[in-house]
Amino acid sequence: MAAGSGQEGRLAEEFFTPGGSSFSEFLAAHRPELLPTRPPFQDGVRAAPDAFPHGTTVLALAFRDGVLLAGDRRATMGNLIAQRDLEKVHPADDHTAVAFAGTVGLALDMVKLFQLELTHFEKVEGTPMTLAAKARRLATMIRQNLGQAMQGLAVVPLLAGYDVTARQGARGRIFSFDVAGGLYEKAPFHAEGSGSPYAHGALKKLYRADMTRRDAALAALQALYDAADDDSATGGPDIGRRIFPIVSVITEEGFERLPEQETERLSREMVEQRSRRPDGPHAAP
């Protein structure tokens, strides 16, 4: 039975009432219990420490043809590994993607809601949102999650996209957020999660503006390796289980997740390099 409908198989009246272009506002008005941003506990109650799986390190960097996002695969609950093959990078639409650190269940629901938000807007308005508008809309959703963040269930996304309206060479754009919905544009790279200081340090020495896709992917893998080397919550390449970081790119052609075979090949190449130089490549002179 449809929401609010008294007859089997018929949509409720609200589905035929003209409204705005925000799907989350529609849910808030008619089915607020479906929103992932509703507080799970009573006021004053906090989640027990390490009671829920948390995703850790994700990063993004602009390269010659667009922007790249990557993430390790580990989720942790305190000192336990809760999942070894978590996917933290997801397409939002053809030219935008979201990666996340934080409470896994809430993050996945927020990503799904954001995907619906963009689809709903385009169907209602007949045109896609601009990249800046997508960033502002995601910031609003994060702000709505502030109650859960204060209860210990924070979600920290990383948004990246290919902006067709920007000048050539600056179309790969990256946006970060704080738990209160603060919005910050980052260039030319950024990292989030518990391993982010180490990943950021690696990118600082490896990054070049003229990177090819392969160069950018290797730099991202090196950065995640450095994060895993110093942060126990970040997972490195798992050769034995054949679990490797997720690497995705967004270019003029759209979103593309690098094939598993390509990511594995680059990861094995990097691990072989690390066997000869454990501290990783040095910055170019």
Going from the C-alpha of 130 to that of each of 134, 208, 215, 253, the distances in angstroms are 6, 27, 28, 17
Q: Which amino acid is at 66?
A: G
Task: Select from 101, 97, 98, 78 the least CA-distant residue to 155.
Answer: 101
- The type of residue at 116 is L
Annotated active-site residue 56? The verdict is yes
Three-class secondary structure assignment of 201-242: HHHHHHCCCCCCHHHHHHHHHHHHHHHHHHCCCCCCCECCCC
Residue 278 CB-density burial (10 A; 0-12 exposed, 13-18 middle, 19+ buried): exposed
CA-based R_g, the chain, Å: 20
* CA pair distance 24, 19, nearest whole angstrom: 12
Instruction: Determine which one of 17, 37, 56, 140 is catalytic.
Output: 56
Just list the catalytic residues.
Answer: 56
